[in-house]
Structure 1
């Protein structure tokens, strides 16, 4: 007899407590193998495919696409040892049109969030066994819900915390709704109908009457996922870190020539970012104050033994900062390969949480956006960030003569608690010297 196992949203590490379901990779009735990805979720760090530790037939899915689930919440149930969905469970899925609040008992949402763009899967059925509990499908969409004229007193009859969250995020007052479920229970469909009414366009004012107070409502975008995490981290950085910025223009002609010579001999191409990263690790070896963090509770500055180098990468989902581990032990070729690997994963939305945490210093190449300078916000809890502008031809005095040279602006934003301006200036000057004369770097290799 198959045994039904419940698979819960696992701990995804780095203090993450919840994740949003982005896309289901399996449907009820599908046969899954051990460690097969069953759902794609978005955490505050990255997009992650979650594998299931059980093999068998999917008997239930919990939550529709777009739902946020806490760690430890049920994701799916799997009939281990079964090769097809039992007939009665399949029938329950087809015929279960009861309302979401029937009996006031929360039940799994089956078949929610189907991706109809994927080809339909073949499903076989066999008689149900007592070990498989019959899940219930989600309630059908309810008609538009009228709004109560006055807010009733007492507790709001809402069975699902997801319904409460949906209402809160959308600005819907639950006390102003009359639920369509049993005994006035407010269902998800009720809240969605209220949201649709709020988003409906207002009628145009009469042409002959001026309406200076009629303004657009504006678009509301939830501050969550990667964007929400970035907002929280940058806000915390501004609150806690007394930062300062210094900058310098550098002649990068020799650096670009050195890169061209490296790439001319064959082998993997060396990127400019990799050369700048190698310069950074050499500079941090001289100025370890900038590879540190501040422990506010202990009132201590913690100098870190390894350079875990973050680099800013723009993706369709927003700005992320992948981390190259132990960058101080890598040569330019290894750094180039790791930058390329992490950038590809970032653009595909497949970075693991561990790829986005633990950085000790960040390299920000904002020159790719066609700008020369910036005063970036430090990536908390780090102590410094090196910014690199675009490398362009500019008039420059070289060996006493005016010439056209390739010039870049470098900026260093640093935590003034870990060092003073002399240390920050020394670090930035060493970086600029290496850019202008790469041979300087040979002394530290």
Structure 2
């Protein structure tokens, strides 16, 4: 289509040429124009052809590129698949190797160690030398079985129970004993009391601060808080960061020929192999007490004892335990009783030939018939506790004697405490 256009332009160019130009130019204008027209037409044709070939080439390249890309993609996917398969194989091999190694370790390594730890081994002394459960005390009076070392201390009632209340800074008391200037603590003794500590601590001094000289020893004073105990360089917290402030806790202390242990409830927190001095008495102090910060104690007991249960069994044919405690007028065991019951269970497991008759006794307070029934129920409760701990029931029997077999006078708190007991009698 370009040729007709070019040939139409030739006459126009000839008309435009002036005579002057015609006279000066000696070339064949017509031939020149025709030649130029041919050249331009050829160039235009070449460009058109080039353009067509370019498009065709691009199209062809595009087709081949798509094919190459598809093929390349397939190859890449194949490589990826191979890589994944390879990884999967490696992972599988890794797991197998790991499992194999673990299996080998199991054969080489022993099982994790099993901890066996007795955190509560307190056993009260078997002969009570001081007892105060505050029976018959008048509210607002100084406790009759104690002497004042410092401060202000009075009897009070807390939630219906008689308590000793410390209500002034530094208040301290000592048990009222005969010949308090002398050493009234035996070589083997236990101390127990319930404490209500609002904050800070109660101190237990192992000498009579009113009548005896201080031993000037770092271990002379036990600090008891709601969460820990401290005696000289020994200290320990309750498990789980427990804090018993503003609640009742049971404090137990055991001294055996220079060794001392101390407990809060059923956990031993102090264990000293050599106390470093001889305890001669006891003082209980509430250093931080005040009119708006009262400290309380109750159920205080000091007892002598220390002969092993097995030795008592061999020597006397029975074991007397007045440290097994029950709720008042009930057969419900108190938690602090478990130390003794644990010891009896351990003894029976070590000596399977032993069989016991568990026999309950009461003091003379209350009705005879009630005391008889109560003693029977308490003996049965102890038997049930031992059975739950794995002692065969056929190795145990139970009975109660009420108040009919006292071992001490019922005229003193200490005598009554000794009469309230559980005996394990050889069968």
TM-score, normalized by length of structure 2?
Answer: 0.20
In terms of fraction of residues, the more helix-rich structure is 2
Structure with higher Rg: it is 2
TM-score normalized by structure 1?
0.20
